[in-house]
A and B are shown apart, each in its own frame.
Chain A
């Protein structure tokens, strides 16, 4: 056969083969439509199948079966699962997915028809997609009022932005979870370096900070660093001192605004650029890397984002212990949130609502299941005994008072449950529960302990949260938010480093608005107005 002829036939045969493949595909596609039935029937290899059958008559008639998807590894028949089953007379089929895999696994399962009865959705934007696709059950406010009254009251009082997380196109699709209490991170100082530079008092205002930085410069230490590669962490405490928190939505006289483009942000940037130029700021702040080691190494003296456990000398692994280990003279102390020219201060906070618990669309036909789930959620959030069992476990087995006598110092998990992984395998989440997240504020503070509460109030007492909790939950946020974050990170870094003059801020604002910032502002306004 001639070569040229052969080539032509290849084209034909390729087409035939592709057609054959398309036929196979078409044949398969019949199976592709996902069935939206309850997950029990679809549950891959799970124990769900058997569970449906073992409903013997001697059980109480109101035993309800719930497939519940939780975001960490809980072993089958764990302490927590058994506790809920006995306490609330339900049969739970736990779909337990490690936190790192949760969002992706949930998306695949939802997309291919394995919709659980009850599930945490970790990002409100995912919830809105699911709701859009008709995968979630609507939960009318009256139902929440009736079956989870205490939680509703708590949300209304302490975390009203939670309702933004469960709302979509005017309907409510679940119950928000709490993220109490009101927290930001404290800032901490290398007081040994301050002393060495001749500063005796921990700075409390921007002016005192500036003086301290000048003195520190004299001994070859940068004043501060920050995570300059982050959309929200960059010099958060300095912006807070100017009464603004970039990239959060905030309200001024009924008008929605984004902190990133407010005039106060320009003020703060002016100061930061000045500080940078004077050599007070570690130029490597733009990487956002190695902040911990550099702080311990004495490269800079003010760490604007510390853990509240970092100066706990009783913890051999805390930052302070690590410092003492390399440098016995070294010392770290928390400082107050710095106060700005108008007496303002603040640090970033994620707000008091965490995310939402939602229900598969098929549950709309089984309202009694939603109701039972709501009752369980209401109970784990508000009943102290239930909360403690599911958040810390049993006293003496899983936890004990930190100081041995009472809650002043909070609680500590006992070995081997001081390892979070082991604790969670027991169905105990540690500080919060798998079935309702964190408790109401009273319970939260009670078990948080006086000591931490005091640190929080003294050094991190002014958390600033987005009006909607998370700034990216607006309808078109997905389209613009990524670009806006990138624009903000780059522009702020350029201005602080002096790569661009301060006036570049105005052109940054213009870009921000034209790249979707204005569109999102309008949406924020609408959302805000609609829920007032």
Chain B
């Protein structure tokens, strides 16, 4: 029985030998650089002695995990992380899709291209720089308040109010990533047959119906795959962004798992870093598996595997 299965596998590889030849070089490179160093995960369960190497170091059990979860403020950091993650999925994830759809409705070629190019600019500036700009712009005497004053709004120091913090995190993340994120959707839109639109117009379908019945279905597989690919990093809610926007008054609501771990990460504390990474990854894996299952329930041809 087992023997048969083995032979069947050999046979199916043999019948796909050209595909296999195409596949193997890249796959071996992948194994070499992704899986050979994978034993480093063990360091999370070890007391790392440099002289003994990772594998030779003594086992430490779950010590590093206990230390990680027992620190002051862990639950607060976990809660903040989950809130920010959910907010980002609600508002940041759909933003590039909406941008792509809106741009798709623009007829003027030069206008569409210019907007595309301009909106993707902030992606190229690190949060250290964007943070500096935002502190000035959102400060009490900054440009944003000057604009609001035309509408009779009293000036606010936006970045020091804890109640505005999540809103600002979401809005600035959209601002920084929307253009860059929409590129993959532009690529997907390029696959739509223009005759579909022409036919719809001829049938007298309204703009909304065209978006709903042609554009969105064409984007759906890409949206699904982007969701599946990103959900594994659910607990990584943007360390650079939050770290560079946090102040003395917002650090309570802005404390996320990454900043929490950073505070504990001493010099060369590889064990704790690995333990924290393993925690987020395991959580992420769980989400990916569940999400993939859900997607396949809906349409068994979608999903990653």
Contacts and interface: CB of A to CB of B under 8 A. Distances in A.
A touching B, CB within 8 angstroms? yes
A293 B266 CA distance: 35
- Interface extent on B, as a size class? 35 or more
A34 B32 CA distance: 21
Interface centre among A33, A36, A107, A297, by most B CB within 10 Å? Answer: A33
Contacts of B248: 228-229, 286-288, 489-490, 492-493
A126 B266 CA distance: 9
B229 to A, nearest CB: 21
Interface stretch (B135-143, B186-194, B197-205): B135-143
Interface in B109-162: 132, 135-136, 139-141, 157, 159-160
A531 interface: no
B53 interface: yes
A361 B269 CA distance: 21
B135 A129 contact: no
A362 to B, nearest CB: 12
A486 B263 contact: yes
B252 interface: yes
Given A228-B248, A490-B252, A478 B38 contact: no
Interface centre among B49, B52, B71, by most A CB within 10 Å? Answer: B71
A352 B64 CA distance: 36
Contacts of A125: 266-267
B247 A286 contact: yes
Contacts of B136: 289-290, 293
Interface stretch (A20-28, A140-148, A251-259): A20-28
A34 B49 CA distance: 11
A483 B139 contact: no
A288 B131 CA distance: 12
B38 A21 contact: yes
Contacts of A32: 53-55
A123 B51 contact: no
A1 B35 CA distance: 30
Contacts of A103: 267
A133 B251 contact: no
B159 to A, nearest CB: 6
B304 interface: no
Contacts of A493: 248-249
Nearest to A294: B141
B21 interface: no
A446 to B, nearest CB: 36
B266 A478 contact: yes
B135 A107 contact: no
B262 interface: yes
A483 B50 contact: no
A21 B264 contact: no
B44 to A, nearest CB: 16
B268 interface: yes
Contact of B53 (A9, A29, A229): A29
B141 A299 contact: yes
Contacts of A98: none
Given A34-B51, A36-B51, A125-B267, A289 B36 contact: no
B23 interface: no
B254 to A, nearest CB: 11
A284 B139 contact: yes
A283 interface: yes
A107 B263 CA distance: 18
A515 interface: yes
A110 B49 CA distance: 12
A483 B36 contact: no
A135 interface: yes
Interface in B246-277: 246-249, 251-252, 255, 262-264, 266-270
A482 interface: yes
B143 to A, nearest CB: 13
A287 B267 contact: no
A289 B135 contact: yes
B5 interface: yes
A497 interface: yes
Interface in A475-527: 478-479, 482-483, 485-486, 489-490, 492-494, 497, 499, 515
Given A107-B267, A286-B247, A25 B132 contact: no
A40 B297 CA distance: 60
A113 to B, nearest CB: 8
Contacts of A25: 35-36, 38-39
Contacts of B252: 490
B160 A290 contact: no
Interface string A22-58: 1011101100111010000000000000000000000
Interface of B: 5, 8, 31, 35-36, 38-39, 49-56, 67, 71-73, 132, 135-136, 139-141, 157, 159-160, 246-249, 251-252, 255, 262-264, 266-270
23 contacts: A24-B35, A25-B36, A25-B38, A25-B39, A29-B39, A29-B54, A32-B55, A123-B267, A133-B50, A134-B50, A135-B50, A229-B248, A283-B160, A286-B249, A287-B248, A289-B135, A478-B269, A483-B71, A485-B263, A486-B251, A486-B263, A499-B249, A515-B72
Interface of A: 1, 9, 21-22, 24-26, 28-29, 32-34, 36, 103, 107, 110-111, 113, 123, 125-126, 129, 133-135, 228-229, 283-284, 286-290, 293, 297, 299, 478-479, 482-483, 485-486, 489-490, 492-494, 497, 499, 515
Given A33-B52, A287-B139, A289-B139, 8 more contacts: A24-B35, A24-B36, A32-B53, A34-B53, A133-B50, A299-B141, A479-B266, A482-B263
